[in-house]
A = this chain, B = another copy of it.
Amino acid sequence: MANIPYKIYLEESEMPRQWYNVRADMKKKPAPLLNPGTGQPCTADELKHVFCDELVAQELNETDRFIDIPDEIRSFYKMYRPSPLVRAYCLEKKLGTPAKIYYKFEGNNTSGSHKLNSAIAQAYYAKKQGLKGVTTETGAGQWGTALSMACSYFDLDCKVYMVKVSYEQKPFRREVMRTYGASVTPSPSNTTEVGKRILAEFPNTGGSLGCAISEAVEAATTTEGYRYVLGSVLSQVLLHQSVIGMETKAAMDKYGIKPDIIIGCAGGGSNLGGLISPFMGEKLRGEADYRFIAVEPASCPSFTRGKYAYDFCDTGKVCPLQKMYTLGSGFMPSPNHAGGLRYHGMSAILSELYDQGLMEARSVEQTSVFEAAQMFARVEGTLPAPESSHAIRAAIDEALRCKETGEEKTILFGLTGTGYFDMYAYAAYNDGTMTDYIPTDEEIAASLANLPNIG
């Protein structure tokens, strides 16, 4: 085996030319999206009111194993990709583990995360369709930032509905979006009917992601030349994010490295799904075996304590129904939760893979996540996003297990992004004021009691 450098960069010529569609290798496919009105599978025509035509086709495509990455998207990828596959020599030394730890680092771009991989694809297809612009929602602003960058590149309008409390208290990502030319509207707003209704009823509300989604969907479907875009959960997003796993596998193959355990944080599943896709494909085809571990917050435990059932993708209940691991569309993580990954549901693809026993999941508490984040920052240099730090926590735990058993396992995890816009959460950890919260069985049962009566 060649000497492994700290950072493995593929050559530009070695970058993936296709996305990998893991559904093609799944014998049992994810359940279809349902129209909430009829209870029947959504047709392409129904979805085209909300999403771009080509993205609808990708959303419904369960058979093509590979889909070409258009040249325009590959050109954009070349500005910030390939992302490095890093050997965590310093973390290994700090832990005193015989395990070999690698991470795929997606944070070296201004959006600060992997979200850009799908944002640029979605913006490209919108432009190709001749649309004027796209709408979306954002909470703290990671996805909104990525979409703003992508729309700026293709000269598309970008309307972002940002949860009002984030808009006011976390102005930095808002300003990044404005620098990229996006219009950022605090939600709820007077620009939509649903926003007006909510403001009339709750004039002092700080907003919610559910409300912002409803406004963004309304704005897209009532404005000529606009469509709505979403940064996670959807199968099209996992398809685009497969570039993470494709690059990782190419880099590992180049150096003859085979991971034993592959770990990713899981909110809606876009990073985890993207990272594991090509490896999962090998497992599905019986060519190789890997352990996959999804890591989620104990305060929002969709996989580990949710139910596999049809549910709404949004709290506003305007989107199609999806079969997934869910805590109920009304579930809200405790206000003390600072670690991101707040989504009540999960990617349909990952839900099905988990249900088939092809993947493990575990939940971790946020103080232990920030403990891992701080250790990682100090020894590996990069200050990680709270979301990514869930994967770091699990990777450290697995490496410490190897230390006990003496096994020289190879651990790979996804470092999805940086925490530069999350310093309030780090401040709480530094000050010792961060606390944990685990929802009670009663809370989860109450939320699950409101699932739609389908499937």
Contact = CB atoms under 8 A, between A and B. Distances in A.
A111 to B, nearest CB: 9
B6 A9 contact: no
Nearest to A120: B381
Given A176-B383, A179-B383, A378-B181, A78 B5 contact: yes
A368 to B, nearest CB: 16
Q: Size band of the A side of the interface? A: 35 or more
B423 A176 contact: yes
Interface string A101-143: 0000000111010000000000000000000000000000000
Count of identical protomers in the assembly? 2
A248 B16 CA distance: 27
Contacts of A171: 423, 427
Contacts of A430: 175, 178-179
A179 B375 CA distance: 9
A14 to B, nearest CB: 11
B423 A110 contact: no
A89 to B, nearest CB: 8
A172 interface: yes
Nearest to A4: B12
A449 interface: no
A418 B90 contact: no
Contacts of A429: 179
Contacts of A90: 79, 153
Nearest to A381: B79
A86 to B, nearest CB: 8
A454 interface: no
Contacts of A421: 420
B79 A153 contact: no
